[in-house]
Amino acid sequence: MGVKEELGKKIKRMRLNRGLTQEQLAEAVDISQRTLSGIEIGENFVTAETLDKIIKALNTTTEELFATNHLKKEQELLQEIQQNTLFIAKNPTKLDILYNVTKSLMKE
């Protein structure tokens, strides 16, 4: 998988984790939903300006966006998910978002 595809998947995953639709993120970044869709599936590559806007709209950092968590072993990822879930469980709003995200993942 190439850089465009990897970055696109990461942007989509972060968008979903934050409970945003493509339309909402596209509006926040000031691009069309079609352009964002192309970025997320690896057809389009982002400009530096658009990338900066995406980072701000997702309330993340460059480091987090380009992190290589996907290189971690499955067991390590599961442990981190469990730790994150315990933290999120203390916040009803975030817990509701996590529930919706996990529910939508079950549909795939």
What domains does the chain contain, in order, with CATH numbers?
3-65 (1.10.260.40), 72-105 (no CATH)
Q: Residue 105's pLDDT is what?
A: 85
Q: Residue 3's pLDDT is what?
A: 85
Which residues of the chain fall short of a pLDDT of 50?
none
Q: If we measure between CA atoms, which residue out of 41, 65, 38, 37 comes closest to residue 51?
A: 65
Q: Residue 67's pLDDT is what?
A: 81
